[in-house]
Amino acid sequence: MTTPDMTRSKAMYALLERLFPICRSITGNGVRQTLTILGECIPLETHEVPSGTQVFDWTVPPEWNIHDAYVADACGNRVIDFQKNNLHVVGYSIPINGRFSREELDEHLYSLPEQPSAIPYVTSYYKAHWGFCLPHCERGRLTDPWYDVVIDSTLAPGSLTYADLVIPGESEEEILISTYVCHPSLANNELSGPVVATYLAMALLRRERRRFTYRFVFVPETIGSITYLSRYKDHLKKHVVAGFVVTCVGDNAKFCYLKSRAGETLADRIVLHVLKHAEPDALIFEFTESGSDERQYCSPGINLPVGSLMRTKYGCFPEYHTSLDNLEFVSAEALAGSLEMYLRCVDGLERNHVYRSRTYGDPQLGKRGLYPSISSKEFAESLRLMINLIAYCDGTHDLLWIADKFGVPLARLVEVADLLTSHELLERVS
Amino acid sequence: MTTPDMTRSKAMYALLERLFPICRSITGNGVRQTLTILGECIPLETHEVPSGTQVFDWTVPPEWNIHDAYVADACGNRVIDFQKNNLHVVGYSIPINGRFSREELDEHLYSLPEQPSAIPYVTSYYKAHWGFCLPHCERGRLTDPWYDVVIDSTLAPGSLTYADLVIPGESEEEILISTYVCHPSLANNELSGPVVATYLAMALLRRERRRFTYRFVFVPETIGSITYLSRYKDHLKKHVVAGFVVTCVGDNAKFCYLKSRAGETLADRIVLHVLKHAEPDALIFEFTESGSDERQYCSPGINLPVGSLMRTKYGCFPEYHTSLDNLEFVSAEALAGSLEMYLRCVDGLERNHVYRSRTYGDPQLGKRGLYPSISSKEFAESLRLMINLIAYCDGTHDLLWIADKFGVPLARLVEVADLLTSHELLERVS
Amino acid sequence: MTTPDMTRSKAMYALLERLFPICRSITGNGVRQTLTILGECIPLETHEVPSGTQVFDWTVPPEWNIHDAYVADACGNRVIDFQKNNLHVVGYSIPINGRFSREELDEHLYSLPEQPSAIPYVTSYYKAHWGFCLPHCERGRLTDPWYDVVIDSTLAPGSLTYADLVIPGESEEEILISTYVCHPSLANNELSGPVVATYLAMALLRRERRRFTYRFVFVPETIGSITYLSRYKDHLKKHVVAGFVVTCVGDNAKFCYLKSRAGETLADRIVLHVLKHAEPDALIFEFTESGSDERQYCSPGINLPVGSLMRTKYGCFPEYHTSLDNLEFVSAEALAGSLEMYLRCVDGLERNHVYRSRTYGDPQLGKRGLYPSISSKEFAESLRLMINLIAYCDGTHDLLWIADKFGVPLARLVEVADLLTSHELLERVS
């Protein structure tokens, strides 16, 4: 792998750092603020879908916003304070203002006995509820007989906000890149996805030529992708040839891949190929382990070719959905490395053509300067690759299939195909 | 597995015990007597096919009946006596009455040097012959210069007797259950099959609702199934979706399965699934190891989806086809356990529907009370199963396919499918 | 394997010995002389294709002939002498006659430091060049300041010579046997191929009955097979059902097989079957390791079912393309054993019919004397094979498929099929 661009990696981390403090949820100003900041990097188009809109089996919920929240002890000290960490409040908490006995309050507290220093991330989107999250080690200190509880939130008709960006290519065939923007101050899951997706879009926008059209989607998880599909299902089913949900790509661990439901789509093939050569021991998950928006994209009747290339999979790292998934848990290098890995996949797709040999039998490489004029025992590996590539270019198999057949990286085969095409020995079929 | 019903298991054994003494062969009164007794349990319809009838490549042979047979020594003592064990006479022995030198007699004697205490089971259905079978250890004691031999049998035009029972279901699709009733006093092979088949029919008759039609066939082995096929081939080819030859299900060993010729039929799929979860180390035989009536049902041009779920396969236990395959070799528990295993397969088939999700994307489980209102790190296994089942209900795969994909028992998936169908999240396609 | 016919094996070796001294190349009198000698054994038809003829991407080159060549030292001694070994001259060397300094000469010398006693085999067919090859251990002795160099060769318009022989069979379906005749004094690679191919043709000519038509092709490697394909491509694509490039079949090592490009053709199936039973640990190469005329036969748009059954594969033995690949490196036994192995494959193809059972269910073997009249515990292996064969003769699978399914040699199954056909239990479908 080439060394990641140091400037770019730092810029990626800085973007994540800037987004980190915002209190996001599946609706509300946190999402808007986030999309505005990302929109400074790429020309995102933002959309608002009114609360109450029916989207398949779901209804867009009321919009939630929050200004302040705390639990104060008998002396008036804020013992749990939203201002210090937005994870302290259960997502979508209804407004509350009152005095509660310790016992009453306790029923609204969430902590993790096995991770006593971590604030858990808890939400209650679709059932009216309020609550506070705190480190388990602090819970025992709440010994006052009563506490004052304030949640200064609003739950009211508004809208669900998402953004997309379509970068046109030579073909109407689309590569879908989807990520989600509904988590509050959680770094890896999920700000790494929006950051990497944004930089991937930036890289593609800079290109003079793109084979495929690229569709970037920034949505709240689940309700957002369902909303998006309810609007664009038919278009996506017609055009998307491969897609990825970008999530959990900021930690420093190795990559893994979660396969699409169909399991052998172009998305699966390119990632499995790239990983085989870049990280041969990468974990590969079946779709039955799915847990994010690929569930929606792959669902029956939609069935898009969408998988998810991650570092450590959601749910598989102890920091997951806790305050330990913070700015220290992710790194500039990991973000940049994830971008590189996605670019490899994208580049593989861009170059994965089907070729046909323009002659019967081996062509005469010698008259084109492609063959050593003196034949001897040496039969160079590159010559073998050239000859074998021609032998398999029968107009039916794509380069990716041939690369897997040969056990060589696609990128290497692309070079050979380019050389042979320039000598008019191969022609592109698709 | 649920504990077998003790009353039922004892009743099954008692039925086998009652049938045991009867001298059965491929034709004759032993078969009729057996079918009459089974007919006390289930409403069997008995059929007679005249000797001489052409059935495919075979001809129904003359009917054989036997009243008495013995070898008496010079003092008049019965040294081999059919009254003591009907295995002593070679099946289909012609009538004989005469005095033979020891040497002449010896050519008509059968014993097993390697199992000196066992009487072997020998027949000569299609070549005129007579003979006696005896324990090898007793053979050496026959030192008299001559013996009187009497076989009081008849071989005359008559008929081949078989019985069947069709238990109608909602569908014309049939499950075929075939077993054979032509073995004399042999317990496991073959009275266990008729007993288990009879109790399986009883269990199905008691049900208010059956998806499939069930066809039970009690025939003499080979000539009987060939006769049956010669009459019902076209009907069976049209209607049978799965079938089983029930044999060797009374011993106390683990289960095994012999696959159909095609090897991947519904019959194979359900048994392999059930065994994978109930007895993961069960032996699985290819059809090339076939040796009973599945040979006929699967033969070219007929090709029914018929396998055989057994305990120890015929030929694979030392007691096979000897007097050691007796009432002690089988047990009430084994018979009842085999019935249970067949019921599991039948129940699996009954419930193996194809479903389709009624929504695009994940449905909103929460509003139906199927999802924890507070989302947290816990993502229960049952919730995962529910979500995954919906994800794979695309109207093409049956539950059995999905259960194998998920590695969960079909019965577990049926529960989830029922729950989801009651919430109108899934609909049955077939 | 049967013991090779000693007379035949010696005759094969003698033929190779006779061909060995001839200086062959891709064109010229060496090829003609070789084909004339082979034509004494089999009725070859020889063809001449003029220099300059366009054959697919190639042009038939000028014809090369050589009469003498040497390097003489200052005293007039021939220090490198074509008369001693034709490998001393680079194939297709242009004529030369002059005095060269040691340094100038050195640029035209080829030797192998790692095999200091071997003369390498070097050619320059398509670029004007001259050169000498010598053992590396002798190169250091060339210390004179200058040398006289003579290559008395001609490179002029002429023709490419090849020969073929079509042995008709009952079917228009063809088995293609191709070998090459362009190597000078190299024994295993490549005189073993022409010798074995010739004897294979002799064996087939002696037969009264052949199912398939056999096409034998003796060509110079690459340019020859390309020339042949440019003439007969459409015919071959229509008729060839299996084919083999015969090469490297004279050394004493075990067999290996290089698969066709498609990899699962009839050619592949028969060789893999024969080797599985004859040499279970035989090396099997993918087509990506291809290096001889199968490259042309399998190329895109032609795609014939052609593989190569060899002993040690070209390039995989140290003597390859050096003077060490000489008469001592090959043996009469190896040549005869290779012939036998090819005959096994051919015989397998000849007998690999598709059968259909003529009855439903098992036939009654007893009335045809094919079944023991007394059934007992013994169920002979041959009876099992008979019964299983009938069970799988459903008019769709060929004997080769069934043999592989059963894990028995095809030859064994052919015997059983013949027996069953003679009893009218099976009929041939194709």
In a domain, B84, yes or no: yes
The HSE-up count of residue A429 (CA atoms within 13 Å, CB side) is 12
Residues pairing with A285 in the sheet = A258
Q: Is the Cβ pair C360, B120 closer than 8 Å? A: no
- Amino acid in position A138: E
- Asked if C59 and C52 touch (Cβ cutoff 8 Å), the reply is yes
The reported pTM is 0.93
Alpha-carbon separation of residue C376 from B123, B126, C389 (angstroms): 7, 14, 21
Which run of H or of E encompasses A357?
strand A354-357
Q: Which of A281, A413, A416, A411 is nearest to A2 (CA)?
A: A411
Same domain, B126 and B44: no
Asked, for residue B18, whether it belongs to a domain, the answer is: yes
Q: Which residues contact C41 (CB under 8 A, 6 or more apart)?
A: C15, C198, C199, C201, C202
Q: Identify which of A362, A376, A379 has the shortest CB distance to residue C299.
A: A362
Looking at residue C366, its pLDDT comes to: 87
Q: Do the chains contact at C288 and A376, CB–CB below 8 Å?
A: no
Residue B69 lies in a domain: yes
Tokens linked to A177: 């890149």
Residues of chain B where predicted confidence (pLDDT) is lower than 50: 1-2, 376-378
Residues of C in contact with B303 (CB under 8 A): 394
Task: Compute the Cα dihedral for B92, B98, B99, B101 and give only its sign.
Answer: negative
Query: Cβ contacts (< 8 Å) between C295 and chain A: which residues?
Result: 361-362, 387, 391
Minimum mean pLDDT range among B5-14, B25-34, C149-158, C205-214 = B5-14
Q: Exposed/middle/buried for A347, CB within 10 Å: 0-12, 13-18, 19+?
A: middle
Residue A225: phi and psi, rounded to 5, are -70, -35
What's the pLDDT score for residue B6?
75
pLDDT of residue B366: 87
Q: Which of A362, A390, A394 sits opposite C222 (nearest CB)?
A: A362
Q: Based on the structure, what is the number of domains in chain C?
A: 3
Last residue of a domain, one of C138, C156, C174: C156
* Cα–Cα distance, B106 to C147 (Å, whole number): 99
Q: Which of C351, C386, C401 is the last residue of a domain?
A: C351
Rg of chain B taking only CA atoms, in angstroms:
26
Q: Binning pLDDT at 50, 70 and 90, where does residue C95 land? A: very high
Using the predicted structure, report yes or no on whether residue A37 has a pLDDT greater than 70: yes
- Backbone CA torsion sign across B220, B223, B224, B226: positive
B129 contacts C373? CB cut-off 8 A: yes
Residues of A in contact with C225 (CB under 8 A): 361
Same domain for A25 and A166, yes or no, is yes
Find residue C125's DSSP bridge partners: none
Residues A201, A331, single domain; the answer is yes
Amino acid at A375: S
pLDDT band at residue C414 using 50, 70 and 90 as cut-offs:
very high
- Per-residue pLDDT tens over the stretch A168-214: 999 999 999 999 999 999 999 999 999 999 999 999 999 999 999 99
Q: Do both A123 and A48 map to the same domain?
A: no
pLDDT digits (tens, 9 = 90+) for C265-299: 999 999 999 999 999 999 999 999 999 999 999 99
Residues composing chain A: 430
CB A87 within 8 A of CB A185: yes
Q: Which two three-digit tokens encode residue B34? A: 């057996």
Q: How many Cβ atoms sit within 10 Å of the Cβ of residue C111? A: 19
CB contact under 8 A, A296 and B357: no
Residues C181, C283: one domain? Answer: yes
Does some domain include residue B214? yes
Neighbours of A170 (CB within 10 A): 11
Domain boundary among C304, C319, C351: C351
CB contact under 8 A, B390 and A300: yes
**Dihedral over Cα of B181, B184, B190, B196: its sign:** positive
Instruction: Give the per-residue pLDDT at A381.
Output: 80
Interval A97-126: pLDDT, tens: 999 999 999 999 999 999 999 999 999 999
Any idea what the CATH number is for the domain that residue B127 is in?
Answer: 3.50.30.90
Instruction: Tell whether A262 and A120 lie within a shared domain.
Output: no
- Quick one: tokens of B50? 């005249």
State the CATH number of the domain containing residue B367: 1.10.10.10
Contacts of A209 (CB under 8 A, 6+ apart): A170
**Residue B339 to residue B193: CA distance in whole angstroms:** 10
A143 in Cβ contact with A103 (< 8 Å): no
Mutate to test the interface with A, among B354, B358, B375 (most CBs of A within 10 A): B375
C22 and C166 part of one domain? yes
| CA C26 to chain CA centroid, nearest Å | 16
Torsion of CA A417, A418, A420, A426, to 10 degrees: 70
Which of B219, B299, B303, B325 to mutate: most C Cβ within 10 Å? B299
Instruction: Kindly report the number of other CB atoms within 10 A of residue C59's CB atom.
Output: 15
Contact state of B296 with C361 under an 8 Å Cβ cutoff: yes
Q: Which domain holds residue A81?
A: 63-156
Q: B366 and B252 in one domain? A: no
Rounded to the nearest 5°, which phi and psi values hold at C341? -65, -40
B231 with B322, same domain: the answer is yes
Alpha-carbon dihedral sign for residues C141, C146, C148, C151: positive
Q: Could you tell me the two tokens for A261?
A: 């439901």
Closest CA to A243 of A212, A221, A219, A222: A212
Cα–Cα distance, B27 to A321 (Å, whole number): 75
CA dist B417 and B415 (Å) reads 5
pLDDT over 70 for what percent of chain C? Answer: 97
DSSP state of B120: B
- For residues A207 and A307, state if they share a domain: yes
Separation between Cα atoms, residue B401 and residue B396, nearest integer Å: 10
- Show which residues on chain B lie within 8 Å of chain C, measured between beta carbons: 56-59, 90, 110, 112, 120, 122-127, 129, 131, 222, 225-226, 229-230, 233, 261, 287-288, 290-291, 295-296, 298-303, 315, 320-321
Nearest to B267 by CA among B321, B203, B342, B172: B342
pLDDT at A326 over 60: yes
Cα–Cα distance measured from residue C176 to residue C242, given in angstroms and rounded to the nearest whole number: 6
Q: What CATH number is associated with residue C254?
A: 3.40.630.10
Please give the pLDDT value at position A377. 47
User: What pLDDT was estimated at residue B232?
Assistant: 98
Is A234 found in the same domain as A98? no
> In the structure encoding, which two tokens stand for residue B306, read together?
């018929």
Q: Is residue C412 over pLDDT 60? A: yes
- pLDDT on residue C309: 98
Based on the fold, state whether residues C190 and C277 are members of the same structural domain.
yes
List chain A residues with CB under 8 Å of C315.
377, 379
SS3 call for C397 = strand
Bridge partners, C64 (sequence order): C155
- Those chains having 3 or more beta-carbon pairs within 8 angstroms of chain C are A, B
* Residue A1 lies inside a defined structural domain of this protein: no
Which residue shows structure tokens 């073995």? Answer: B183
The residues near A3 (Cβ < 8 Å, ≥ 6 apart) are none
Contact between residue B312 and residue B338 where contact means Cβ atoms under 8 Å apart: no
ipTM of the prediction greater than 0.85, yes or no: yes
Residue B26 neighbours by CB under 8 Å, 6+ apart: B61, B64, B91, B92, B125, B160, B182, B220, B221, B222, B223, B224
Nearest-CB residue to B361 (from A56, A123, A129): A56
Does the residue C102 lie in any domain?
Answer: yes
- What is the gyration radius of the CA atoms in chain C, in angstroms? 26
Residue B1 located in a structural domain = no
**Domain-embedded: residue C1:** no
CATH number (domain holding residue A396): 1.10.10
